Amino acid sequence: MNTLQYFGMLYVDWAESGYYAYLIVLVAALITGLVHKTEYRLPRSTYFLNISLVTFGSGLIQAIWLFSLEATAGGYVWILALIDFLSWAAAGYFLVMFGKARSNDAFGHSRYAALAFIPLANFVLLFKGPKDTVFQTSGSGLTVGAPAVVIGLIAFGIGRGSAPGLEQAVLQKVNEFAGTQTATDIGKAYFEFYLKRDGLDGGLQYLASLDSVGPIDGVTDLSSITAQNGVLTYDFTINDNSITGLNPEWTSNVQAGNCITYTDAINAGATIKYLYHTQSRVLADIQSHSSSCR
C-alpha cells in the first residue's frame, strides 16, 4: 500500500469516529479568524443566505463518498479524502468570514464572529439588526430580504437533508458489490491498511471480523475466531463424538484452499489455523503458512 492510499484510509477511518468535520471546520475557522480581517458588512438576510449556501455546498460535496468503494479498491481513496478535507476547511473559512462581516454590521466590529459557531448564541448574529442604520449594506434582488431568506431555507434544508439519502445510497452499493471482485479488492486494501497501522495481529483481527461464529452445518459449529501472535485460528466444534477422524484428502484440500484465500496474510508472515475437534478429541489441526504453502 502506497503512502497516499494509506493516509487516505487513515483519514476515512478517523472520519468514521464522528464529528471530524466539526473539528476541521473549527480549526480552519480559528486560523482564518486570527489571520484575516475584513471591514465588509452583511445584513441579516444575506448572512443567512450565505451560511445556508455553505451548508448546501458542503452537503453536495459529500456525494463524492458514493465512489468510496471503487476508490478504496482502486487505490485512490486519498483523492476523496483530500477533497473532503478541503471542503470542510473551506466551510470553516467562509463561515468565519461571513461571521465577521455580520458582526461588523450588527456590532460595529468583528469580535463577535465566534458566535456563529456557538449553538443558540448564533441566533444573535441571525436576528440582531444593524448597529448603524445609516450605513447601507450592499446587495439587492435575491440576495437580501425575504427572497434571500426563502432561498437560504431551501438551500439549508437540502444541505442538511442530503446526509441520510447519501448513507442509504452507500449501503445499497455495499450490497451490490457483495461477492464481486471489487469487494475482494476492498478487503485486501483494508487488510493492508490494518497490517501497516496495527501490525500483523491487527491485520488478522480485521480478517477475523469478517466472519461470524455459529453453526456451519448439522454437526459443525464455528466456535471462535482468534488472532494472536501472528496466528489466525478458526476453532470448529464437531457435535458428534462418534467421529474419530477427518478424511486426509479433504484436510489437504482445506489446507491448500487456505493458502489461496489467505495469500496476503501468509505472505506477511501469518499462520492460518483450522482446528477441528469434538468434545473429547482433536480431529485435525490444519495449518497454512509460508512453509506449507510453497
**186 in a domain, yes or no?**
no
Same domain, 117 and 216: no
Last residue of a domain, one of 127, 156, 178: 178
Q: At what angle do helices 77-107 and 3-15 cross, to 10 degrees?
A: 50
Cβ 140 vs Cβ 126: under 8 Å: no
Mean pLDDT of the chain: 86
pLDDT of residue 59: 85
- pLDDT band at residue 140 under the 50/70/90 scheme: low
pLDDT of residue 255: 93
**What DSSP string runs through 47-95?**
HHHHHHHHHHHHHHHGGGGGGHHHHHHHT-HHHHHHHHHHHHHHHHHHH
Same domain, 60 and 143: yes
Over residues 199-217, the mean pLDDT reads 92
Same domain, 70 and 168: yes
Residue 261, domain CATH = 3.30.300.250
**192 in a domain, yes or no?**
no
| Domain, as residue range, for 282 | 212-288
pLDDT of residue 218: 82
pLDDT of residue 200: 95
Assign 111 to helix, strand or coil.
coil
Contacts of 293 (CB under 8 A, 6+ apart): 259, 263, 266
Over residues 37-61, the mean pLDDT reads 86
Q: Which three cell numbers mark 215?
A: 453453526
Q: Which helix (H) or strand (E) holds 199?
A: helix 181-209
Q: Lowest-confidence range among 12-21, 154-163, 249-258, 265-274?
A: 154-163
Q: Which helix (H) or strand (E) holds 234?
A: strand 231-238
Give the predicted TM-score (pTM) of the model.
Answer: 0.81
**187 in a domain, yes or no?**
no
- Rounded-to-integer distance, Cα 182 and Cα 174, Å: 10
- Rounded-to-integer distance, Cα 203 and Cα 196, Å: 8
Over residues 104-108, the mean pLDDT reads 86
pLDDT of residue 177: 72
pLDDT of residue 139: 52
**219 in a domain, yes or no?**
yes
Same domain, 101 and 233: no
Same domain, 137 and 253: no
Same domain, 236 and 147: no
Q: Is the pLDDT of residue 146 over 80?
A: no
Q: How many CB atoms lie within 10 A of CB 223?
A: 13
What's the domain count of the chain?
2
pLDDT tens sequence across 160-199: 666 677 777 777 877 777 778 888 899 999 999 999 999 9
**185 in a domain, yes or no?**
no
Q: How many CB atoms lie within 10 A of CB 285?
A: 12
Same domain, 156 and 277: no
From residue 242, how far is each of 103, 129, 227, 254, 280 by CA, in Å?
Answer: 82, 86, 30, 22, 10
Over residues 265-288, the mean pLDDT reads 92
- pLDDT band at residue 142 under the 50/70/90 scheme: low
Same domain, 169 and 242: no
Q: Is the pLDDT of residue 242 over 90?
A: no
Q: Is the pLDDT of residue 151 over 80?
A: no
